[in-house]
Amino acid sequence: MFKVLANAFKVKDIRDKLFYVLLVLLIYRLGTMIPLPGIDMQMLDFALYSGVAGDPTFFTLMMGGGYGSIMAMGIMPYITASIIMQLLTVAIPKLEQIQKEGEEGRKRISQYTRRFAVGLAILQGGATVFSYVNNPMGVPLFNNPGMLTYIMATVAMVTGTIFIMWLAELLTEHGIGNGASFLIFANILSGLPMALQGLLLLLDGDNLLMGIGSIVLIVVLFALVIAFVVLVSEGERRIPVQYSKKMAGRMFGNNSYIPIKVNIAGVMSIIFAVSLLQFPAQLAMFFPTNEVLQTISVYLAFTHWVGVVLYVVLIFLFTFFYTSFAINTVEMAENMKKNGGFIPGIRPGKPTSDFVQRIVDRLSWIGAVCYSMIAIVPILFQQFTGIQAGFGGTTLLIATGVALEFIKRLESQLLMRHYKGFLE
């Protein structure tokens, strides 16, 4: 990986793109430090450090963790809108037809996604401001409480989200890789200093050797989880496909294969599961006096066995749900048949689609088991040892996936410029 990065800096075009990515990420992180108009940062800091505003979670990490800033919502409204539009594109024939219209159709879908994201940002921004006003401390976190102040704060948060969407599109167009993924990656890395600080606190106890042993154990677990994440992310099943071409009365064979990932849904299944489980907790923050919501949020927390079990169940459900939309085995078999392709030993048509579907289902089971293990190992480690790991399996999964995709794109950029020797 480091060799690929070093070689990439030797190419001027790629080096300019890398500096462009760093510049945009720097602007984004600086934007998370701009406070909302009228917010009382001292009171907000007190609420955060006293635990009133809730502990930082994976959801808040993806949002950016910039409490009280104009970019507090991060890229999450756009990500949520993109996921919903992907599902609606498959469920609604009209949207599916628009998507198949080529570049113009994709532009229309992107425009719908942006508008939907703005609508979600308005709702989420208003709910966030409402949570600042009606916090458990009973004291508004604004210097001049009033409807005009709340409206200005909501507009500022929505504007910040729109600006982040623009930055993500700039990264996608002029950078290397998906811009939204880079922004989420930057949010996760922003929590690294706090995690390191938590590890160093283990050395402040009376037993120094026990603190050192705890740090070594956490580092080993960290390395094992990353290795497992890489193994699962790179794992795929290759289905052999043979194409026949007829030229001048002679048949020529052309062998190929269909790569199918171990977990086609990827991290989307975990994102869906986390969002659904943390929704009652978000409502409980907005209504701190509601005992029913408070009780439900306690049971659905990852510190309770009910929350952990439901977490795993939802990962399995959303894995198969998302995979059913992501891969259309019937269409795959039809396209293969039209192009003169077939799987050796399998008849074209329905037998081919059934064969591919069986493979997809088996891989989905394996992927769901692996991703569940990645998600709950740090949680179980913390509960049984009492040691704060400082990281989550989901954050490692996203960070490692983005890093792997980034390296692959760098390699492809180098290969396009005929620098094949760099990759040897």
Rounded distance, CA 139 to CA 92, Å?
Answer: 46
Instruction: Please tell me the predicted confidence (pLDDT) of residue 163.
Output: 92
Instruction: Please tell me the predicted confidence (pLDDT) of residue 162.
Output: 92
**Please, which residues bridge with residue 253 across strands?**
244
Instruction: Please tell me the predicted confidence (pLDDT) of residue 184.
Output: 80
Instruction: Please tell me the predicted confidence (pLDDT) of residue 421.
Output: 47
Rounded distance, CA 125 to CA 117, Å?
Answer: 12
Low-confidence ranges of the chain (pLDDT < 50): 52, 54-56, 247-252, 419-424
Instruction: Please tell me the predicted confidence (pLDDT) of residue 158.
Output: 92
Instruction: Please tell me the predicted confidence (pLDDT) of residue 206.
Output: 66
Instruction: Please tell me the predicted confidence (pLDDT) of residue 137.
Output: 65
Alpha carbon distances (Å) from 175 to 77, 114, 172, 218? 22, 20, 6, 34
155-187 tens-digit pLDDT: 999 999 999 999 988 888 887 777 887 888 887
| Cβ-based neighbours of 401, under 8 Å, separated by 6 or more | 229, 233, 266, 267
Instruction: Please tell me the predicted confidence (pLDDT) of residue 423.
Output: 46
Instruction: Please tell me the predicted confidence (pLDDT) of residue 118.
Output: 92
- The pTM for the full model equals 0.75
| Per-state percent for the chain, helix, strand, coil, to nearest 5 | 70, 5, 20
Rounded distance, CA 70 to CA 35, Å?
Answer: 6
Instruction: Please tell me the predicted confidence (pLDDT) of residue 391.
Output: 59
Instruction: Please tell me the predicted confidence (pLDDT) of residue 252.
Output: 45
Instruction: Please tell me the predicted confidence (pLDDT) of residue 251.
Output: 46
Instruction: Please tell me the predicted confidence (pLDDT) of residue 393.
Output: 64
Instruction: Please tell me the predicted confidence (pLDDT) of residue 338.
Output: 82
Burial 47-58 (b: 16+ CB within 10 A, else e): beeeeebbeebb
